[in-house]
Amino acid sequence: DTIFVLNGPNLNLLGTREPEIYGHDTLDDIAGMLEDRARELDLTVDVRQSNHEGHLVDWLHEAQAIGAKAVLLNAGAFTHTSVAVHDAIKGIRTPVIEVHLSNPHTRETFRHHSYVGMAAKGTIAGFGAYSYMLALEAAARF
């Protein structure tokens, strides 16, 4: 089974981007950790990143089209703005887990509302890179 791990804007900068908030792991580091654990779980992870909203929409559709088991989605700032991503999650039957490195609820008020969380099966936030690992553990049990 395949699990899509979709990452939105600015997550390509992980490792150097506000490390006091997001940690020192790069997205490649996180992908490596996910791949190792996925192998143990007899799963495949497909890790992608884009700064463009429509790519996230297309990839959510693709997840359903290829029969992915689940999607782990860190939509970055689109979390708080994108009705299109919200609708894409609603439009597919593939379960989506919202993931964040930081805990948006402890941050600026503009991060308190999540269009992704409203449509997702569940949310894991605040554990840094480990948020992705926890989400993978949850998805493996779907």
Catalytic residues, which ones? 22, 100
Residues 99-128 that bind ligand DQA (CB under 6 A): 100-102, 104, 111
Q: Is 79 in the site for ligand DQA (CB under 6 A)?
A: yes
Q: Measured from the CB atom, is 11 or 68 closer to ligand DQA?
A: 11
Q: Which of 2, 10, 26, 64 binds ligand DQA (CB under 6 A)?
A: 10
Q: Is 60 in the site for ligand DQA (CB under 6 A)?
A: no
Q: Measured from the CB atom, is 17 or 90 closer to ligand DQA?
A: 17
Looking at the chain, list the stretches that DSSP marks H as alpha helix, in order from N- to C-terminal side.
19-22, 27-40, 53-65, 83-91, 130-140
Q: Is 77 in the site for ligand DQA (CB under 6 A)?
A: yes
C-alpha–C-alpha distance, residues 28 and 95, integer Å: 24
**C-alpha atoms less than 13 angstroms from C-alpha of 25 in its C-beta half-sphere:** 16
Alpha-carbon distances, residue 103 vs 61, 79, 106 (angstroms)? 27, 13, 6
Q: Is 111 annotated as a binding residue?
A: yes
Tokens of 7: 């990452």
Tokens of 88: 């894409």
Q: Which of 11, 36, 29 is nearest to 21 (CA)?
A: 11
Residues interacting with ligand DQA, by CB under 6 A? 10, 74, 76-77, 79, 100-102, 104, 111
What residues form the annotated binding site? 74, 80, 87, 101-102, 111
What residues form the annotated binding site for substrate? 74, 80, 87, 101-102, 111
